[in-house]
Amino acid sequence: MRIVEGKLSGANRKVAVVSSRFNEFICSRLVEGARDCLVRHGAADADLTLIRVPGAFEIPAAARKAVDSGKFDAVVCLGAIIRGETTHYEHLAAAVTKGIASLAFTSPIPVVYGVVTAENVEQATDRAGGKAGNRGWDAAMTALEMIDLNGQKP
Ligand code: INI
């Protein structure tokens, strides 16, 4: 069987990381996780661009601009949406997820979802370098695999 899958190399890869500042203590850990993953896999730190936006709601629009710039091989979207007392969480999480998904489905380059949606701060911390790993690192790994796959014929 012919198998088509991406390799995990960061060499010569130009990656945009779009991260929100809301819940900064979580987002900064996600960004560091993504950066660490990309550099450990051979990406040059100078080839990485961090685009910061106020909140997760702003991520899809900024990611779209990064895609349209033609400067990057992939865009990694990072943010943290933590459940509050209202239904705001559900609306925001759904809007951001749909926004990133619709961009990912039409983008010529991989757009990766690394937004943590958590019940509380503890759960978010666990997923941002705590006991449940680091979603930023995971998203960056996905970006590397999908960049390589994107360059292959199916
Ligand atoms: N933005 C987040 O990234 N995470 C949140 O948990 C959050 N909450 O809970 O309100 C949040 N709100 C801000 C939102 O993303 C926009 O920045 C704001 O509505 C302006 O458009």
Q: Which domains does the chain have, with CATH numbers?
A: 20-145 (3.40.50.960)
Residues with Cβ within 6 A of ligand 1?
20, 22-23, 54-58, 79-82, 84, 88, 92
Atom of ligand 1 nearest to the CA of 23: 4
Q: For residues 57 and 53, what is the distance between their CA atoms, to the nearest angstrom?
A: 9
Enter the DSSP assignment of 54: S
Structure tokens at 127: 């997923």
Render pLDDT for 18-67 as a digit per residue (tens, 0 to 9): 999 999 999 999 999 999 999 999 999 999 999 999 999 999 999 999 99
Which of 25, 31, 57 for a ligand 1 pocket mutation test, highest count of atoms within 8 Å of Cβ?
Answer: 57
- DSSP string for 30-73: HHHHHHHHHHHTT--GGGEEEEEESSGGGHHHHHHHHHHHT--S
Atom of ligand 1 nearest to the CA of 20: 3
Which of 19, 20, 25, 85 for a ligand 1 pocket mutation test, highest count of atoms within 8 Å of Cβ?
Answer: 20
Give this prediction's pTM. Answer: 0.97
pLDDT of residue 87: 80
Quick check: 103 pLDDT over 90?
A: yes
Q: List active site positions.
A: 88
> What is the average pLDDT score of the chain?
97
Residue whose pair of structure tokens reads 């895609």 in the numeric block:
67
Quick check: 84 pLDDT over 90?
A: no
Residue whose pair of structure tokens reads 């961009």 in the numeric block:
103
